[in-house]
Chain A
Amino acid sequence: MIDPFAFFLLVLKASLFSSGGQGNLPSLHEDLVGRGWAGNQDFAQALAVGQLAPGPTGLWTVALGYFVAGITGAGLAAAAIILPPLLVLPLARVHGRFSENTAARGFMRGLGLAVAATVPVIVLRVVGSYGYDLAGALIAVGSFAVLLTRRFPPIAVLGTGAAIGALVYR
């Protein structure tokens, strides 16, 4: 059984010290897998639901919350990912001073780059828990290439992945 308050704080911490919708993945992965509250496959499935569902991709954390502790988990996760981004409101007040600040810009640049560098590593680890095979590699590389062009709606790409999966993994 998980401790709801601790779960909320872990998600809050992961979201507060990261940027972007999936930036909280590395920290959450470390904390929740470490405590045995979620497994690699929960993460992989939550990322998939987050991409399929409408709204910001960051809502993958809500799906993870559901897998960890049902509706309560989903609600706690939602609250914990909504609060940190709202820091933009006080930030907007001091906008002039803050956005000209070289150190602050450098800090956020470093944070964004660190997220961009570590998230793929963790994604490989969680998806790898399903085992790598040729079909999986082709779906991943194909989706990557197609999504990079921005020519196709992501939902069509994911749908194609689902269709191939239904044929290959049954």
Chain B
Amino acid sequence: MLVLWSRIGLQSFGGGQSVLLYAYEALVVRRSWYTAEDWSQDWGLCQLAPGVNLISFAGLIGFRLSGPKGAVASLAGLLVPSITITVAMAAAYVRLRDVTVIRASVHGVLFAAAGGTFVNAIRVGRPLLLASRRDGRPVFLFTLLAVSACAGLALFARLPVIGLLIGTACAMAIAVVLNRRRMALAPK
């Protein structure tokens, strides 16, 4: 499992999205250690945990397959080589940043990476927006309002970010619960 996850982690230069594809290929398609159904369900569960979803997922898969030891092996495999390379790249950059070509290329990569973060934001946000749309028009309108308010406040107001994130999360929880209640009361 350690070796397997290291290989998965190391194949994924340039983005987390590919980690998921390689892992699926290795665990579901080639080894059938996991069924496709459990896979989707566990990935869904990881969306409910805070922080990096792939870390949740690697830990959970390892745990399901062989307990705490499996969790540690999966995480070590995924993270130790990747973290080592990340630190090495950061260290190399610190040493080489005065070299003109290096600085210029990194300058270019920054803008490309910025484009990538916007794509990530869409990938995170889109399924959640769709979920709100399935909840009906009031929830959907509320969601659009909340998202715009969030972006606007982050842009113009100097609010504590954690407050903004948790506030939005609570507002959304209340909206979804009220909506569920309304649906339950509505005549069929």
Chain A positions within 8 Å of B, measured between CB atoms, are 13-24, 26-27, 29-30, 44-59, 62-63, 66-67, 71, 74, 78, 81-82, 84-89, 91-92, 95, 98-99, 102-124, 127, 130, 135-137, 139-145, 147-148, 150, 153-158, 160-170
Q: Given A115-B124, A118-B165, answer yes or no on A21-B113 (Cβ-Cβ < 8 Å).
A: no
**Shortest distance between the CB of B72 and any CB in chain A (Å):** 11
A88 to B47, CA, bound (A): 9
Cβ-defined contact, A27 with B111, below 8 A = no
| B73 contact set on A, CB distance < 8 A | none
Within 8 A of A (CB), among B161-188: 161-162, 164-166, 168-177, 180
Cβ-defined contact, A47 with B113, below 8 A = yes
A145 to B161, CA, bound (A): 28
**B122 on the A face (CB < 8 A):** yes
Question: Knowing that A147-B115, A154-B17 are A-B contacts, what are 20 other residue pairs whose CB atoms are under 8 Å apart, sorted by A's residue number?
Answer: A21-B54, A27-B165, A50-B86, A51-B116, A52-B109, A54-B82, A55-B83, A82-B79, A85-B49, A85-B50, A91-B48, A106-B169, A113-B125, A120-B117, A120-B121, A127-B114, A154-B14, A158-B14, A158-B116, A161-B109
| B174 contact set on A, CB distance < 8 A | 103, 106
Q: Given A15-B50, A55-B86, A63-B86, answer yes or no on A170-B109 (Cβ-Cβ < 8 Å).
A: no
A54 to B75, CA, bound (A): 14
Cβ-defined contact, A155 with B14, below 8 A = yes
Q: Given A107-B172, A112-B47, A114-B169, answer yes or no on A123-B114 (Cβ-Cβ < 8 Å).
A: yes
| B154 contact set on A, CB distance < 8 A | 26, 117-118, 121-122
| A17 contact set on B, CB distance < 8 A | 50, 162, 165-166
Cβ-defined contact, B161 with A162, below 8 A = no
A143 to B75, CA, bound (A): 30
The interface size of chain B toward A, counting residues with CB under 8 Å, comes to: 98
| B147 contact set on A, CB distance < 8 A | 113-114, 116-117
A54 to B94, CA, bound (A): 19
Main secondary structure of the interface of B (DSSP, over half): helix
Q: Given A21-B54, A109-B172, A111-B165, answer yes or no on A130-B119 (Cβ-Cβ < 8 Å).
A: no
**Shortest distance between the CB of A10 and any CB in chain B (Å):** 10
Cβ-defined contact, B124 with A116, below 8 A = yes
**Shortest distance between the CB of B177 and any CB in chain A (Å):** 5
| A29 contact set on B, CB distance < 8 A | 161
| A109 contact set on B, CB distance < 8 A | 128, 131-132, 169, 172, 176
A109 to B170, CA, bound (A): 10
| A22 contact set on B, CB distance < 8 A | 117, 120
Cβ-defined contact, A136 with B51, below 8 A = no
| B175 contact set on A, CB distance < 8 A | 106
- The 9 A-B pairs with the shortest beta carbon distances in the complex, nearest first, are A165-B108, A55-B82, A110-B172, A161-B112, A155-B14, A106-B176, A143-B115, A116-B125, A58-B52
Smallest CB gap from A74: residue in B: B87
Smallest CB gap from A78: residue in B: B83
A136 to B110, CA, bound (A): 9
